Amino acid sequence: MKQNIILRKNSKNVNATIQLTGSKSECNRALVIEALSEGRVKVTNVSDAADAVLLAGILRSELSGVGGQNSEPTTQNSQLTTVNIGPAGTAMRFLTAYYAISGEEVILTGSERMKQRPIGILVDALCALGANIDYEEQDGYPPLNIKGGFEQKTDLISIQGNISSQYITALLLIAARLPNGLKLQIEGELTSRPYVEMTLSMLQQAGIQHQWEDNIISIAPQEFAETSIWVEPDWSAASYWYAIAALSDEAELFLPGLTSYSLQGDSVIGEIMANFGITSQFKDGGVYLKKEPKPIVRKVFDMIKCPDLAQTVVVVCAALGHEATFTGLETLKIKETDRIAALQNELGKMGVKLIEKGLVYKLDCREKFIPQKMKIATYEDHRMAMAFAPLALIIPELEVEEAQVVEKSYPAFWTDLEKAGFEVEAP
Ligand SMILES: O=C(O)C1=C[C@@H](OP(=O)(O)O)[C@@H](O)[C@H](O)C1
Ligand SMILES: C=C(OP(=O)(O)O)C(=O)O
């Protein structure tokens, strides 16, 4: 279903309790751990995010011995199983490592955009370890033909750290199941570092120990523990509620289940949004957000540890006319869309420029205006839809194209906005 929606919000006050679904990142790791543990580890609070539901469908049908042959994303011709993970980047990367050691031969593919998202660094690392993987179309990109017959050639692998942390996570997830374990040497800067820490913490919850010394992470061959992993609510999803609070006159929001000790690096949104007068109070098993207006002084935001928050924070700054500078946006061009170009196009509709100067991006709000109506294109990117939606607090009629994109990580987003007093209508 492709559907545009129109958002309106009569008052600038927001008061609601919103139960967010489970973290897509945590859930995707937990599902791979569950599958690799052959059922010793159980996942609870599985996310509603479409990417996680898809991955659960694939991996849980494998667990039950069906081999996924009749499930939706998995099709079988005479010899080969094809697994299609659509737009799910983490699932693509994690399954590449998973199938590399599983012994099955599969074609692993995804959406047209997925075929433009690089995977060569991970494939090279897996092949150096002993996997047999061929490219079906373009070298360095999905679809992949992942063959059986893994024979470990080495336990020491070097990997470039600045393109995507997902390659590193994918390798760490399978490390304990490798006959000789893994020593992973990370070369250069490590982008999205909290996601690697999340992986190691979750492996630890599942009984897998590691050492991290300088730039080498080591995991010995080990058995998974008999345990369960509870998936926390999604802090990246929470960021849109912080943005709503930041653009409101008065906001009192309660997000149950979120704690200050999260595995998710995106929990830093509380600290970021404190600059915009949003307080976070952790009590009653969740977080209360409150607007306490104050002048915005922070001028520089480094997003290298939390790239998924970039669109949220850039849009809030643009809406408030706060001419901030952003760093750490290098990975945004290879996500669901080129997020830099998408931001530039859509912010341009309100006269705001996002100017690229090498690795630094500056917002120029000198020609900013607030239109009566604005139509936002979403570029098959859930975060474009959700990051721009809070603008309905300042733009009388905000149309969001292909609003179903939110399903990737937060399917209830539009109904949650209705709960908070937004009008959500078909055009
Ligand atoms: O490991 C993960 O769950 C993720 C890592 C990040 O990707 P990169 O490491 O490619 O920046 C992030 O953007 C993505 O949404 C989820
Ligand atoms: C980049 C993202 O996801 P993925 O890489 O898993 O497609 C995201 O959710 O913002």
Q: What does the domain layout of the chain look like in residue ranges?
A: 5-21+232-425, 24-222
Our answer on whether the CB atom of 166 is closer than 6 Å to any ligand 1 atom is yes
Q: What is the pLDDT of residue 122?
A: 98
5-21+232-425 and 24-222 have identical folds: yes
Q: Which of 23, 24, 25 for mutating ligand 1's site (highest number of atoms within 8 Å of CB)?
A: 25
pLDDT at residue 367 tops 80: yes
CA dihedral 117, 121, 127, 129 (to 10 degrees): -130
What percent of the chain has a predicted confidence (pLDDT) above 90?
Answer: 93
- The answer to whether residue 131 scores a pLDDT higher than 50 is yes
Per-residue pLDDT band at 253 (split at 50, 70, 90): very high
Which residue's alpha carbon is nearest to atom 4 within ligand 2? Answer: 89
Q: Is the CB of 89 under 6 A from ligand 2?
A: yes
**167 CA → ligand 1 middle, Å:** 9
Distance 103 CA to ligand 1 centre (A): 27
- CA–CA separation, 109 and 285 (whole Å): 40
Could you give the CA distance from residue 128 to residue 209 in angstroms, rounded to a whole number?
Answer: 23
Query: Position 211: which residue type?
Result: Q
**From ligand 2's centre to the CA of 381, what distance in Å?**
9
Q: Is the Cβ–Cβ distance between 40 and 226 less than 8 Å?
A: yes
Ligand 2 center to 305 CA (angstroms): 14
Helix segments in 37-102, DSSP class H? 50-63, 89-102
Residue 79 pLDDT more than 90? Answer: no
In this prediction, residue 66 carries a pLDDT of 44
115 annotated among ligand-binding-site residues: no
Read off the pLDDT of each residue in 164-192 and give the average, rounded to a whole number. 98
Q: Which ligand has the minimum distance to the alpha carbon of residue 407?
A: 2
Task: Extract the tokens encoding 281.
Answer: 């109070």
Mutation test residue for ligand 2: of 29, 90, 167, 236, the one with most atoms within 8 Å of CB: 90
DSSP string of 149-183, one letter each residue: ------SEEEEE-SS-HHHHHHHHHHHTTSTT-EE
Q: Is the CB of 110 under 6 A from ligand 2?
A: no
Q: Does ligand 1 have an atom closer than 6 angstroms to the CB of 90?
A: yes
Residue 375 marked as a ligand binder: no
Cα-to-centroid distance, 250 and ligand 1 (Å): 33
Tell whether the model's pLDDT for residue 144 goes beyond 90: yes
Task: Encode 247-283 in three state secondary structure.
Answer: HCCEEEEEEECCCCCCCCHHHHHHHHHHCCCEEEEEE
CA of 406, nearest ligand number: 2
Mind listing the pLDDT tens digit for each residue in 303-339?
999 999 999 999 999 999 999 999 999 999 999 999 9
Distance CA 219, CA 169 (A): 12
177 is in an annotated binding site: no
pLDDT over threshold 70, residue 164: yes
Is residue 249 annotated as involved in ligand binding?
Answer: no
120 in Cβ contact with 145 (< 8 Å): no
pLDDT band at 78; cut points 50, 70, 90: low
For residue 90, give the ligand 2 atom closest to its CA. 6
DSSP 188: S
* pLDDT digits 0-9 by tens, 14-72: 999 999 999 999 999 999 999 999 989 999 999 999 999 999 999 998 755 444 433 46
| Overall fold of domain 5-21+232-425 | UDP-n-acetylglucosamine1-carboxyvinyl-transferase; Chain (3.65.10)
* Mean pLDDT over the full length of the chain: 95
381 is in an annotated binding site: no
CATH number given to 24-222: 3.65.10.10
Annotated active-site positions, please? 308
Tokens of 86: 């659509």
